[in-house]
Chain A
Amino acid sequence: MSQPIENQKQQVNFTLNGREVGGSAEPRKLLSDFLRQEMALTGVHVSCEHGICGCCTVRIDGKAVRACLTLAVQVDGRRVDTVESLAHAGELSDLQKAFRKHHGLQCGYCTPGILMSVEAFLEISPKPNEEEIRDMLGGHICRCTGYTGMVRAIKEVVEQRNEPVPLIEV
């Protein structure tokens, strides 16, 4: 007997952290669950599942979005980036290092979503002031840090990334 149409899995092909991947998902499967369960990317954290907390934030075509408010079938043909895309060959990214240095995390549950938000935000606003940084962080809930360390970390990364390229003396 064939399954009812709402239970039939659909093929989803997309670019995940720079790699072409494919999988199949029931229409009702949330992107957050699909990334964790089918793609084994457990850096995508799940908490409130209704878009309030920001833990599950990933980037779709570069934009920071809530994975819990997105269906897996909706990312067919899209580019998805998760926190796993940030470190390379075991070395943390500049942003991750700054978060560690400035105690931008404690338990770390909210951190993957925040890191992905910050990367998307800095692409749109490469030189934000503190108020703009805090406004952006307002889209995430962190119950450990009080956000101050995050603000410091982000400010440091902004400075580093905007430093003029040093002139090489000949």
Chain B
Amino acid sequence: MKPKGFEYLRAHSVEQALDSLASNGDDAKIISGGNSLMAMLNFRLLEPKVLIDISRLEALSGIEYKGDYLEVGAAATQAQLQAWPGLAERMPLLALAVPHIGHFQTRSKGTVCGSIAHSDPSSELPLCLALLGGSVVLRSKRGEKVLKAADFQLGMLSTACADDEMVVAVRFPVKRQGAGYAFTEVARRKGDFAIIAIAAEAVGGTIRLGIGGVADKPAVREWSDLATDALDDKLNELAWELGGNDDIHASAKYRRQLVRRLGREVIETAQENGVAVKETN
């Protein structure tokens, strides 16, 4: 339960961090909040030779509203996001989801980009990023590129981030005109790993539904102008497609039922929230 030895580098600039990544490649790991990484080091699931600490980089610590999207830097914490003044108004899905991320005592240090880079299938932020169609900004000595969420997260704890690249920011699209959002999660204890996490966006006759915690990465489906009973069929198909397993936390059957029942509930709540938005406008 103690990490194996490594060299520790506190980066004084993004360039310094990228230099170290370029020369150490797979042997180096970026640390910011460390909530997931430190646990993996303690268990010795990971044994990097170099740890590059970016948590004090001012250049990466901002949360910036850029009109179409909210850009969150790699050193910005989940608590910072939760306290961002326009969250409920401009980013209603994040406002609903963030309180489910870990606990008060972990959001204080855990970063938004860290959750995205770690890509746990049951994490809230990768699910929100996938549902909203957001993107991830990667940088290396070779340059910068922006990947769509779906192209970034490849599977369980697996991403398209190359060995010499780091996540410098993520971009969450802002609320769409007239859209309603909803989020719910089932966990043994609020804040623990989700058995299932469900997010939905409803705008006009179109529904986007995202499911986390069942498959190896968030699954997003978009359906337009469905008849009421057709939704049940779609949810049932999705429940089987996701292929949830039996494990200590829940049976596969229970997981499929959660997709069907909670999926419908979250969609209906998103639709109601959308109507409420229209009435207040």
Contact = CB atoms under 8 A, between A and B. Distances in A.
Interface of A: 4-7, 10, 26-28, 30, 33, 49-51, 54, 57, 60, 63-66, 68-71, 73-74, 76, 117, 120-121, 135-136, 138-140
B145 interface: no
Top 7 closest pairs, chain A to chain B, by CB? A139-B103, A6-B5, A27-B8, A50-B39, A69-B38, A63-B108, A139-B105
Interface in B100-138: 102-106, 108-109
Given A51-B39, A74-B53, A66 B7 contact: no
A7 B6 CA distance: 8
A70 B3 contact: no
A121 B107 CA distance: 12
A28 B3 contact: yes
Given A70-B38, A138-B190, A28 B104 contact: no
Contacts, number: 97
B105 A71 contact: no
25 contacts: A6-B6, A6-B49, A27-B8, A27-B51, A28-B3, A28-B4, A33-B2, A54-B103, A60-B109, A63-B108, A66-B106, A66-B109, A68-B38, A69-B35, A69-B38, A70-B38, A71-B34, A74-B10, A74-B34, A74-B53, A117-B105, A121-B104, A136-B103, A138-B191, A139-B191
Contact of B109 (A33, A54, A69, A73): A69
A117 B106 CA distance: 11
